[in-house]
Amino acid sequence: MPQKLNKKPFSMEDALNKMLQPAGMGVIRQLTPRESVYSRHILQTNALFQNWLEILHKGRDLPRTEFRDDMTELRQEIDTLRMTVHSLTQELAASERRVDGLSRKVDELHSPLEGDTITKLSTAYVKMVSTIDIVQKVALVETADIATIWTIIDAPAFEDSLRTPIYDAQLHIFSKLEDHVSLDFNVLNISELSENQGPDSIIPADARIIWER
């Protein structure tokens, strides 16, 4: 049986040395500097080629799941973001409905300040102050936020002691107020106005006279 020959592996360095030696010479000569540079460059290029070849072989043997499909992942992220935005939009719409409902309740509590309550309070106030000699008129101004009762009096200027019964009546009305009702009082003494100034220049134009002597 013929024996198998042990074949020596191919070596780029041996091939270069053999190529650069003159033919027929039994001794190996020293390479010139230029030949050494060329030889080194060739060996480096071969090593780089071998590294790339090894990487390609490894990549070919990897399963396809190891490679990312960037477009597929990007589409999945976009779909996730779209669903998140849709969910946030629904939550925002629900929050807006809740805010609208609360706003309506607040408006109901303050619009126009529970007309029936204001009417009853102003009627009770007129009943008390109409018996005071200096009181000439009582006017009511209602807005979306507050109701104001104006008491117009004719008394000596800056005699605050004469207003005490009026202030007592106002305190009594304040004691009857509910938390959601906003009410205020103003007292105007026509004797304290200048000659060219009348009550109409101070009292709001939308004031409604609810009692007059």
Each residue of 142-195: pLDDT tens digit? 988 899 999 999 999 888 899 999 999 999 999 888 777 889 999 999 999 988
Mean pLDDT: which of 37-46, 109-118, 128-137, 194-203 is highest?
A: 128-137
Q: How many residues make up the chain in this entry?
A: 213
Residue 14 pLDDT:
61
CA dist., res. 37 & res. 128, Å (int): 120
Q: 3-class DSSP state for residue 185?
A: strand
* 8 A C-beta contact, residue 151 and residue 187: yes
32: pLDDT strictly greater than 90: no
**Residues 205, 206, 207, 211, CA torsion sign:** positive
* 8 A C-beta contact, residue 147 and residue 112: yes
Look at residues 165, 170, 175 and name the one whose alpha carbon lies nearest to residue 185.
Answer: 170
**What are φ and ψ of residue 134, in 5° steps?**
-80, -15
113: pLDDT strictly greater than 50: no
Look at residues 112, 98, 132, 84 and name the one whose alpha carbon lies nearest to residue 180.
Answer: 112
First to last CA, the chain: 146
202: pLDDT strictly greater than 70: yes
Residue 92 pLDDT:
77
CA dist., res. 149 & res. 32, Å (int): 117
pLDDT band at 112 (very low <50, low <70, confident <90, very high): very low
What are the beta bridge partners of residue 208? 140
